[in-house]
Amino acid sequence: MSVVILMWCVLAFLVVASIAIGLAKRRIATPMVYGATALIASVGCVTAFISLVSNQSATLRLPLGLPWLGANFHVDALSAFFLVVVDLGAAVASVYALGYGRHEQSAERVLPFYAAFLAGLNLVVLAEDAFTFLLSWEFMSLTSWALVMAHHRSADNVRAGYVYILMASFGTFTLLLAYGLLAGPDGHYGFEAIRSHHPDALHSALILGLVLVGAGSKAGLVPLHVWLPLAHPAAPSHVSALMSGVMTKVAVYAFIRIVFDLLGPPVWWWGVVVLALGGITSVMGVLYALMQHDLKRLLAYHTVENIGIIFIGLGLALAFSANGLLATAALALTAALFHVFNHSVFKSLLFFGSGAVLTATGERDMEHLGGLIHRMPLTAFAFLIGCAAISALPPFNGFVSEWLTFQAILLSPELPQWGLKLSVPAVGAMLALSAALAAACFVKAFGVTFSGRARTRAAETAHESDQFSLTAMFFLATVCLVAGLLPGFFIDAIAPSVHLVLGGHMPLQAAQPWLSIVPIAQGRSSYNGLLIFLFIAVSASLGAYSVHLFASKAKRRAPAWDGGYPEASPLTQYTAGSFAQPIRRVFGTLVFRAREHVEFPLPGETRPAKLEVILEDVVWDMLYAPISGAITFLADRLNVLQFLTIRRYLSLVFAALVLLLLAIAIWR
């Protein structure tokens, strides 16, 4: 039943898309489309949620796609969970876009693809055979590419779109190969058929690698992340939110579906590989983010970081389940899935915030912003909550999932293999590092954008954004808080999908005293966001009350003291670059080959002193530059063949003939 409703939703999305093409440039199109998508998405979200908690599974087979196979769609706990994530994000994004979309210059290039994109997102999660899956997967990439190209007049966006579509189809091809191995020579493309027979060790390893590359390139695992910081900022903000918050999660779904579900029993070293990738990704992502001063690009890099954290959880789950430690594996997987949900929530929130800033000031560059907390307090508040959540600060939701991950890491000594024993603590350190750096980065992001004084005219004249956007943002902020205060319920909701994948799940949380969460046992570790929050609230108000009781209430406004320097210009404020400087000093030389080039004018010279920082993107230089270089080289060399004389072409033919005849003469 549920699958039928969801497929109707997909159909509805597609219909909306086609209508949007028809409406093209009309003003009415924007509210109509976004209203419709919001409605459809919420229906889908509710349906998915119901089938998640009721843990029912349903299959639907349509006579489409591969003739002898048909297009199979399936909803089980896992896909239901991801559908909740997808459709929640979609619904909120649509609501946000009701306001944000008004400022869209070329709506006709956004609306149809937006609806189609939503359809694609849903389809990937619903697909139950290799062909349908890949079709939806590529369809998703294609529509999002069109959305990235929506503002195609700027050369950067075109480049971003190009890199994106290349990486996307590269990923698709690797997944294609993986499915080729899974399906075998006579093409059992149905997931059921694939589950029924497991490939041998070598093939499984190969498939794991392929899936890591394929799904990883979509999710943004280092070093396949390069498209992400280019494409996400290029798209309109609500689309960026979907791409960052939701599409990457669909990639995570692909990974879980194939590696945990289709591929059969895991081997312990898979865990090592995934863990290492996750750890590196999280740290690299956040370091890249720290170096950015473009708000949306910073957020995109943080997506990379969080994907890393999710994959750490997945790697742990693999390692534990390979050793049959079901409870712990369930803990790790729950942590990962919960972080999937959390990240989709607060990343969407943050992108909405940046979108609001963008519409208010027309600026994405933090160096040109500042002091927005005065001009747009509500947005600032919501954004602040998002920052706190993504920085894994209690009592918000980001902390809970990372806390769970840590708990899983702390259980790693139970693992028999030395490789895991020794690598997991290091990964734990990486996780802690990336969490702390994330906090640092969001102090920077919020501090430079919203705090301080306005650096430009645009920032001074900013205005608070519209109701729709604010509604969306505050809804998500509330979710962040609620998921942080009552994580037990969310964990219980996730439990069915974890059980489906691993055959085990965490202890029921709702039953715990005081609604606290207990991964393994009360005596071992527990956390109660609700109480913490209450304590803080109580003691804060207590402090405030007593202070106002005993202390003087007098307060005077005066110019900032700033260590005695009078009225410095806003330009003396700390910028994003200068804020990141200490951390750049620590990690930069290692990761970015950072060089600082200072030139002081000699005494008597009037020119200003200059400090320039050169950062190199090592990943790009090491991996992508050589590839494109090789292609260019070959293309140039081969291009000679376009300009030969007929005689030379004839000699080619002649050579081919003689070669083949020789082959025959020799062949016995």
Partner 1 sequence: MKGLLDGTTLVLVIPAFAAAVLAVLPGYRLSARLNMVASFLTLLAAVSLFFVHAQPGTYFLIDDLNIVFIVLSTIIGFTTSVFSASYIGHELETGRLTPTNLRFYHAMYQVMMFGMNLALIANNIGLMWVAIELATLATVVMVGIYRTHEALEAAWKYFILASVGIAFALFGTILVYMAAQPVLGEGLQSMTWTVLVAHVSKFDPALLNVAFVFLFLGYGTKVGLAPLHAWLPDAHAEGPTPISAVLSGLLLNVALYAILRFKMLMTLNSTAIAPGPLMVVVGLISVIFAAFMLYRRRDIKRLFAYSSIEHMGIIVFAFGMGGPLANFAGLLQMTMHSLTKSAIFFAVGHIAQIKGTQRIADIRGLTVTHPVLGWGLVLGVIAIAGMPPLGIFMSEFLIVTSTFAREPLLALALVLGLLVAFGALMLRLQGIAFGEPTGSAAPSKASYLPIFAHLTLVLAAGIYLPPMLVVWFQHVAQMLG
Partner 2 sequence: MALISDLTVQGAQMLLVLLVAPLITGLVRKMKARLLRRQGPPILQPYRDLIRLLRKEVVLADNASWLFRAAPYLIFAATWVSAALVPTFAAGLLFSWTADLIALVALLGSARFLLALAGMDIGTSFGGIGSSREVMIASLAEPAMMMIIFSLALLAGTTQLSGIAQYMTSPSVGLRVTLGLALISLMMVGIAENARIPVDNPSTHLELTMVHEAMILEYSGRHLALIELAASLKLLVYLSLIVCIFFSWGIATAGDTSIHYALGAAAFVGKLLVGCFGLAVFETAIAKMRVFRVPTFLGAALMLGLLGALLLFVSRGL
Partner 3 sequence: MHGLAFDISHLLAGSLVLVSLMMLYQDRLYALLNVFALHAVLLSLSVGWQAYIQDAPHLYVTALIALVFKAIIIPVALHRMIVTLGIHREIETTAGIGPIMLGGIALVGLSMAVMLRITPDADPIAREDLAFALSVLLLGLLIMVTRRNAVGQVVGFMSLENGLVLAATGAKGMPLVVEISVAFSVLIAFIVIGIFLFRIRERFDSVDVQALDRFRGDRR
- Chain positions contacting partner 1, by CB under 8 A: 63-68, 130-131, 134-136, 138-139, 142, 149, 152-153, 155, 158, 161-162, 165-166, 169-170, 173, 176-177, 179-181, 183-187, 189, 631-632, 634-636, 638-639, 641-642, 644, 646, 649-650, 652-653, 655-657, 660-661, 664, 667
Dihedrals phi, psi of 612, to nearest 5 degrees: -125, 140
- By a kind-dependent CB cut-off of 5 to 8 A, residue 155 interacts, out of partner 3, partner 2, partner 1, none, with partner 1
Residue 463 lies near partner 2 (rule: CB under 8 A): no
Residue from the set 448, 477, 480, 485 that interacts with partner 2 by CB under 8 A = 448
Residue 358 one-letter amino acid: L
Distance, CA of 126 to CA of 68 (rounded, Å): 19
Residue 154 lies near partner 2 (rule: CB under 8 A): no
Residues 118-177 that bind partner 3 (CB under 8 A): none
- Map residues 610-649 to x or -, x wherever contact with partner 3 holds by CB under 8 A: -----------------------------------xxx--
CB atoms within 10 A of CB 272: 20
Of 54 and 651, which CB lies nearer to partner 3 in the complex structure? Answer: 651
524 by Cβ neighbours in 10 Å (0-12 / 13-18 / 19+) ranks as exposed
Distance, CA of 594 to CA of 579 (rounded, Å): 16
Of 188 and 444, which CB lies nearer to partner 1 in the complex structure? Answer: 188
Residue 461 lies near partner 2 (rule: CB under 8 A): no
Residue from the set 82, 113, 346, 406 that interacts with partner 2 by CB under 8 A = 406
Of 508 and 662, which CB lies nearer to partner 3 in the complex structure? Answer: 662
Residues 507-566 that bind partner 2 (CB under 8 A): 514, 516, 522-528, 531-532, 535-537, 539-540, 543-544, 547, 550-552, 554-563, 565
Minimum CB distance to partner 2, residue 10 (Å): 40
Minimum CB distance to partner 2, residue 642 (Å): 56
Of 35 and 184, which CB lies nearer to partner 1 in the complex structure? Answer: 184
Minimum CB distance to partner 2, residue 531 (Å): 4
Minimum CB distance to partner 2, residue 308 (Å): 15
Residue 665 lies near partner 3 (rule: CB under 8 A): yes
User: Which run of H or of E encompasses 516?
Assistant: none
Residues 273-312 that bind partner 3 (CB under 8 A): none
CB atoms within 10 A of CB 520: 17
- By a kind-dependent CB cut-off of 5 to 8 A, residue 421 interacts, out of partner 1, partner 3, partner 2, none, with partner 2
Of 28 and 653, which CB lies nearer to partner 3 in the complex structure? Answer: 653
Distance, CA of 360 to CA of 346 (rounded, Å): 21
Instruction: Give the Cα-Cα-Cα angle 118, 38, 74 (nearest 5 degrees).
Output: 45
Distance, CA of 23 to CA of 32 (rounded, Å): 10
Residue 169: HSE in the Cβ half-sphere, 13 Å Cα cutoff:
8
Residue 425: HSE in the Cβ half-sphere, 13 Å Cα cutoff:
6
Distance, CA of 305 to CA of 434 (rounded, Å): 8
Residue 656 lies near partner 3 (rule: CB under 8 A): no
Residue 327 lies near partner 2 (rule: CB under 8 A): no
- By a kind-dependent CB cut-off of 5 to 8 A, residue 39 interacts, out of partner 1, partner 3, partner 2, none, with none
Residue from the set 429, 537, 650, 656 that interacts with partner 3 by CB under 8 A = 650
Stretch that binds partner 2, among 46-54, 193-201, 259-267, 432-440 (CB under 8 A): 432-440
Minimum CB distance to partner 3, residue 662 (Å): 7
Q: 564 vs 298, 558, 560, 561, 658, CA distance in Å?
A: 34, 13, 9, 5, 90
Residue 643 one-letter amino acid: F
CB atoms within 10 A of CB 570: 14
CB 445 within 8 A of CB 575: no
227 by Cβ neighbours in 10 Å (0-12 / 13-18 / 19+) ranks as buried
Minimum CB distance to partner 2, residue 302 (Å): 15
Q: Please report the sign of the dihedral spanned by the C-alpha atoms of residue 4, residue 54, residue 52, residue 483.
A: positive
Instruction: Give the Cα-Cα-Cα angle 612, 613, 614 (nearest 5 degrees).
Output: 120
Omega before residue 395 within 30° of 0, cis: yes
Could you write out the three-class secondary structure of 240-254?
HHHHHHHHHHHHHHH
Of 59 and 651, which CB lies nearer to partner 3 in the complex structure? Answer: 651
Instruction: Give the Cα-Cα-Cα angle 581, 584, 585 (nearest 5 degrees).
Output: 90
Of 373 and 502, which CB lies nearer to partner 2 in the complex structure? Answer: 373
Of 49 and 383, which CB lies nearer to partner 2 in the complex structure? Answer: 383
Minimum CB distance to partner 2, residue 295 (Å): 15
Place of tokens 């494409």: 231
- By a kind-dependent CB cut-off of 5 to 8 A, residue 658 interacts, out of partner 3, partner 1, partner 2, none, with partner 3
Instruction: Give the Cα-Cα-Cα angle 542, 543, 546 (nearest 5 degrees).
Output: 80
Which of these, 28, 43, 172, 206, lies nearest to 118 by C-alpha position?
A: 43
Stretch that binds partner 2, among 6-14, 158-166, 572-580, 657-665 (CB under 8 A): 572-580
Residues 372-401 that bind partner 2 (CB under 8 A): 373-374, 377, 380, 384, 388, 391-394, 399
- By a kind-dependent CB cut-off of 5 to 8 A, residue 426 interacts, out of partner 3, partner 2, partner 1, none, with partner 2
- Helices 326-361 and 248-255 pack at an angle, to 10 degrees, of 160
Distance, CA of 353 to CA of 347 (rounded, Å): 10
Of 625 and 641, which CB lies nearer to partner 1 in the complex structure? Answer: 641
Residue 429 lies near partner 2 (rule: CB under 8 A): yes
- By a kind-dependent CB cut-off of 5 to 8 A, residue 612 interacts, out of partner 2, partner 3, partner 1, none, with none
Distance, CA of 350 to CA of 366 (rounded, Å): 14
Distance, CA of 254 to CA of 464 (rounded, Å): 39
Binding residues for partner 2, rule CB under 8 A, total 89
Of 152 and 368, which CB lies nearer to partner 1 in the complex structure? Answer: 152
- By a kind-dependent CB cut-off of 5 to 8 A, residue 531 interacts, out of partner 2, partner 3, partner 1, none, with partner 2
Distance, CA of 265 to CA of 267 (rounded, Å): 7
Of 535 and 633, which CB lies nearer to partner 2 in the complex structure? Answer: 535
Q: 122 vs 74, 239, 280, CA distance in Å?
A: 11, 15, 30
Binding residues for partner 3, rule CB under 8 A, total 12
Residue 213 one-letter amino acid: V
Minimum CB distance to partner 3, residue 635 (Å): 24
Binding residues for partner 3, rule: CB under 8 A, are 645-647, 650-651, 654, 657-658, 661-662, 664-665
